[in-house]
Amino acid sequence: MTTILVKYNDNYQKIAMGFMSYMTDLKDLDHLQMELQLYTSDDQHQLFLYKQHGGDFIGIVAVELQEQAVMIRYLSFNPAYRMDQTLFAVFDELQEYYPNKKVMGTISLATIVEKWQQQKN
């Protein structure tokens, strides 16, 4: 399965909102819209949609750019694609997109990011 990261823009608003609505913290429409606003107005916060090559979007990944790291704030995927293999592919692509930065996760994502880093070595 070949997949690609696509940087968010307003054309993908409904798709992004759909994936974001899977997350408990973003069930409220006002909160969800505020979150999207953050990713369109702040260059340090980036939102990517994750797409199967030649197919549909299967999820989103939200990152915060830091001086030496890319902090994954959250991931949200179609339930059929919520597996380590998919997440590891996302992390690989983020590393390729930001080759001079270390890919890291929030506390809730630290275990899966660490697992990815171990399997790379």
Q: For the domain that residue 106 is a member of, what is the CATH number?
A: 3.40.630.30
- The parent domain of residue 77 ranges over 3-120
Question: Tens of pLDDT along 4-15?
Answer: 899 998 899 999
Quick one: pLDDT band at residue 82, thresholds 50, 70, 90?
confident
pLDDT of residue 64: 96
Confidence check: pLDDT of 103 > 80: yes
Token look-up 């505020």 returns: 34
Nearest Cα to Cα of residue 45 among 58, 61, 59: 61
Distance in angstroms (rounded) separating the CA atoms of residues 110 and 59: 19
Mean pLDDT on 31-45: 86
What pTM value is reported for the model? 0.88
Task: Count structural domains, the chain.
Answer: 1
pLDDT of residue 3: 61
pLDDT of residue 34: 85
Quick one: pLDDT band at residue 24, thresholds 50, 70, 90?
confident
HSE-CB at 90 with a 13 A cutoff on CA atoms is: 33
